[in-house]
Amino acid sequence: MGFQLSSKDYVEYIKLAAAKIHENGDYVTALDAATGDGDHWSNINIGFEKLIEAIPVMETMSLFDEFKKIGMIMMSVIGGSSGVLYGSAYMGAAKVLKDKDVIENQDMCNIMEAMLNAIMQRGNAKPGFKTMIDCLYPAVECYKDCITKALSENETVVLVKKAAVEGAQSTAAMEAIRGRACYQANKGVGHLDPGAITMAYQIETLMDYIATRL
């Protein structure tokens, strides 16, 4: 049998993601200082700190309520574009989880796809615009492909993680069409997009956590 994550398990992932983001503060701040206003790490880090405070409540909730709660916290405490975008992502993903007690492989793919669609819609952006989408989109495409090919969950998590990391790295060569980097003379070419990097941290951490549950 494959992995099954409860709302309590998802909280375990949140703790690991919070730690990963916390420890990369200087690096992410430098990235956003180069092409944006330098606040991306502090925005997202405060969001995860607030999620950690809400764990006692979240772990007793259904997955549907837990994801809505995460979305509301992110929307209200993360400043900048990423707060609205992550808020919308979690609200969108909650809908996939209605009446579900656990997240299984196909559900996880559906969650990530719902997040992608919500972010693209809310931010009016597409792949190739040098944003967090350039990490999430290839990860979702890869996940769907793994399911179509009926790959094992062990293989899937490795490939999805790789797609996310490579997607984030690919933003260095892109000209920004959304986000503050588009106001730069050279559209941020040569610089990684900070939002794509923090998205990759989250997907990497999620795939590594799933691997421990297989």
User: Which window, 18-26, 58-66, 77-85, 149-157, contacts ligand ADP (CB under 6 A)?
Assistant: 77-85
Q: How far is the CB of 88 from ligand ADP (least distance, A)?
A: 10
Question: CB–CB of 202/16 below 8 Å?
Answer: no
User: Which window, 50-58, 79-87, 89-97, 138-146, contacts ligand ADP (CB under 6 A)?
Assistant: 79-87
* Residue 104 neighbours by CB distance under 10 Å: 15
Question: CB–CB of 193/179 below 8 Å?
Answer: yes
* Residue 82 neighbours by CB distance under 10 Å: 25
194 contact choice in Mg ion, ligand ADP, none (CB below 5 to 8 Å, kind-dependent): ligand ADP
153-192 mask for ligand ADP (x: CB under 6 A)? -------------------------xxx------------
* Nearest alpha carbon to residue 125 among 193, 200, 43, 207: 193
- Rounded to whole angstroms, the Cα distance separating 38 from 30 reads 7
When asked if residue 39 is in the footprint of ligand ADP (CB under 6 A), the reply is yes
Q: Segment 106-145, which members bind ligand ADP (CB under 6 A)?
A: 119, 123, 125, 131-133
164 contact choice in Mg ion, ligand ADP, none (CB below 5 to 8 Å, kind-dependent): none
Q: How far is the CB of 36 from Mg ion (least distance, A)?
A: 4
When asked if residue 74 is in the footprint of ligand ADP (CB under 6 A), the reply is no
When asked if residue 66 is in the footprint of Mg ion (CB under 5 A), the reply is no
For ligand ADP, the closer CB: 69 or 195: 195
For ligand ADP, the closer CB: 11 or 116: 116
Residues binding ligand ADP: number (CB under 6 A): 23
For ligand ADP, the closer CB: 35 or 156: 35
Interface contacts to Mg ion, rule CB under 5 A: 36-37, 39-40, 80
